[in-house]
Amino acid sequence: MKVIRLIGALGLCVAAQANVIVDIYRDQYSDPIPSGYQFPNGTFNELAGSFEVQTPSWTPAPLNFNVETHDWHPFGLTWYMADMHGTFQVETPGTSHFDFNRVGGLSFGEWTIDGEVIYRGDAFASQHHDGNVTLGVGQHTFDIKYRPGIRDQQYGPNPWDHGVIPYDYDGFALIDNDNTWAPAVSVPESGAWCWLAVPLVLLARRLMRKMAAY
């Protein structure tokens, strides 16, 4: 019975979190190589791998992939498309203020909620965007795309011996500054109590065993 209760507590911890699935796609032509003025291939149709990250159940943020160190190379790639997607449950309707940061000159980023474009930054747009998002109560889907930047590199003695290669200066972050969509009543989230649940249960069991021994 105690084991079942422990598993139940852990299940609640997991339920309080929203899974963000991160799919990393590589270019079928591998990394771009210097080839004159040609823009590198952008055919990101080969899945390199996937992983999950945890965020609060009411928001897709915070997400931070090496935005401070500028060296996010998932699965060792420097040229890729990251597709981050999932669902979240808005408990309190309202407006929340977000920061959307993408690292790398001529990088690309896009964020949609329920299919509606919240932000789209092409190669020549600012790498930082902040703005408000207003949502009602209920479950919402989101999708975020990020592609690293590119740069020009000289590879020969002649002026025309140069081409476009990955910038190798990569990172992405999405920050929810307000957390407006959290539950109105202060309910402990997993960040507040889930990490304590297991040791507290084990401590209680240990004390009960000691009391039973006397």
For the chain, count helices (H), then strands (E). Answer: 2, 12
Domain count of the chain? 2
**How far apart are the C-alpha atoms of 129 and 101, rounded to whole Å?**
6
pLDDT tens digits, 119-165: 998 766 677 888 999 999 999 999 999 998 877 777 777 776 666 77
pLDDT the model gives residue 1:
46
State the amino acid at position 123 in one-letter form.
A
**How far apart are the C-alpha atoms of 44 and 30, rounded to whole Å?**
9
Are residues 52 and 6 part of one domain? no
* 101 CB-near residues (< 8 Å, 6+ apart): 67, 127, 128, 129, 171, 172, 173, 174, 175
Q: Which token pair is 110?
A: 């896009």
**How far apart are the C-alpha atoms of 126 and 123, rounded to whole Å?**
8
Are residues 206 and 157 part of one domain? no
Structural domain boundaries, residue 10: 1-16+189-214
Are residues 74 and 103 part of one domain? yes
Are residues 117 and 81 part of one domain? yes
Are residues 77 and 7 part of one domain? no
**How far apart are the C-alpha atoms of 141 and 131, rounded to whole Å?**
19
Are residues 128 and 114 part of one domain? yes
Are residues 204 and 136 part of one domain? no
Across-strand partners of 15? none
Are residues 141 and 49 part of one domain? yes
Q: Which residues of the chain have pLDDT under 70?
A: 1-18, 28-42, 123-125, 160-163, 185-214
Are residues 129 and 33 part of one domain? yes
Q: Which token pair is 156?
A: 């020969």
Are residues 39 and 72 part of one domain? yes
pLDDT the model gives residue 103:
82
State the amino acid at position 59 in one-letter form.
T
Are residues 2 and 92 part of one domain? no
8 Å CB contact between 98 and 174: yes
Q: Identify the CATH number of the domain in which residue 178 sits.
A: 2.60.120
28 closest CA partner among 94, 61, 72, 77? 77
Count of C-beta atoms within a 10 Å radius of residue 163: 20
pLDDT the model gives residue 48:
95
